[in-house]
Chains A and B, each alone.
Chain A
Amino acid sequence: QSALTQPPSASESPGQSVTISCTGTSSDVGGYNYVSWYQQHPGKAPKLMIYEVSKRPSGVPDRFSGSKSGNTASLTVSGLLADDEADYYCSSYADRGTRVLFGGGTKLTVL
């Protein structure tokens, strides 16, 4: 089973918005609303930002939003701040073999 596909990098200026995509198949992203997004700063553990496609855990700013269309999920970060610069990973439940798949990660640079 292949990992989910994310762009390796993204960049945008402070105050702007950026969208990161995560593409899977009908056996994972497209078939279930169990997509999560994680933020990871260097040397730190990942932090859950979005779960079940579009839900935000308590404490996560509403600048972070998630959506899904077909086999592709997306994370949008609006009003970019310097602290948003980090690696972002998507994950999804998969109904065959490896039950949880991660994307390869996207390094977000806030210019």
Chain B
Amino acid sequence: EVQLVESGGVVVQPGGSLRLSCAASAFTFDDYTMHWVRQAPGKGLEWVSLINSVDTFYAEFVKGRFTISRDNSKNSLYLQMNSLTVEDTAFYYCAKEDSGWYDLAYWGQGSLVTVSS
């Protein structure tokens, strides 16, 4: 069974940095495009970034502050987040595409990032 497990969510001060990780299992990790999606408490879903075998894409609000990466040898996805603001407070989900295009068929349980002084 496909599993995605996020980690790294903490409380961080405005202007701070942190790296989220997503450990993947039960599928051939390097074959699939991976995404990060966030959800502020009580709000809707917001796409953050995706990475495939050759490229990366980001939401416009990222503005160069976040970097998505993957280590196929470790079956892991990462999101390095810098210059954090209170507006970045959210649950961050990693998600995996499946057989279609932009179909986020598998999701982790989410990791809570809280930006607060």
Interface residues of A (CB under 8 A from B): 1, 3, 34, 36, 38, 40, 45-48, 51-52, 55, 57, 87, 89, 91-93, 97-105
Contacts and interface: CB of A to CB of B under 8 A. Distances in A.
B103 A51 contact: yes
Contacts of A52: 100-101, 103
B47 A105 contact: no
B45 A105 contact: yes
Given A45-B109, A100-B35, A55 B47 contact: no
A104 B47 CA distance: 12
B36 to A, nearest CB: 10
Given A57-B98, A98-B60, A99-B50, A51 B105 contact: yes
Contacts of B109: 45
Contacts, number: 75
A36 B45 contact: no
B59 A51 contact: no
B27 interface: no
A57 B47 contact: no
A56 to B, nearest CB: 11
A93 B59 CA distance: 12
A85 B39 CA distance: 19
B57 interface: yes
B84 to A, nearest CB: 19
Contacts of B102: 34, 36, 51, 91-93, 100
